[in-house]
Amino acid sequence: MKKVLFGAVIALAAVLIFRSCADEREKQSLLEENSMLIQQELKNVSKLIVTEGHFVEVYNYKDSRELFGSMLTADKKALVVVNAEATVAYDLSQIQYQVDEATKTITITNIPEPEIKINPDFEYYDVTADYFNPFGAQDYNNIKKNVSASLLKKVEASSLRSNAENRLVSELSRILVLTHSMGWTLVFDGTVVQNMEELDLFLD
């Protein structure tokens, strides 16, 4: 009788251990599957986000050179009209992240800065110059430098950059939704991200 009872206990323990191991294997398999799904989604958003805009700049260029002290000046001037195509881009293939399966956490460690590109088309009008102060390569370089700086400020102050940021948030929100649906945690800049509003604030 004791042998039968002992055998039954052993059999029951074996079943429980088997079930426990099976459950652990299922949990580990599900964990790895979720991890792969999240990483695949990160790859899916790893694309180039580009927002385009058109800008116009009218620039008056003037330069004077004194002759014989301040008695006489040699002047030159030009009216420059610039049409520029500008883009703000995020290369999301540069996103860096870490996956911790033990704590079910995705930590975004780096999001690339936006790349601003400006392609200006210069048209020169009313170009006049004195014999003693002619137009030269340096004048055209100064014009391009000043216009480019002005255009960059316009792009920074425009809705172009904010539109690009909105598209960035939209892409990253897919990761947020997926992690939450699987019971995972998304961390950015050392802080747990709970919703899209917080994600938007972190990216500002």
User: pLDDT tens digit string along 16-61?
Assistant: 444 444 445 555 565 667 677 777 777 766 677 788 999 999 999 9
What are the distances in angstroms from CA 116 to CA 39, 166, 204? 28, 16, 16
When the pLDDT of each residue in the chain is averaged and rounded to a whole number, the result is 80
pLDDT at position 112, please? 87
In tens, the pLDDT along 102-135 reads: 888 889 888 888 999 999 999 999 888 887 788 8
pLDDT for 182-198, tens place per residue?
A: 888 889 888 888 887 77
Name the pTM for this structure: 0.69
How far, CA to CA in Å, does 140 sit from each of 17, 104, 119, 127, 147? 82, 58, 16, 11, 11
DSSP character for 95?
-
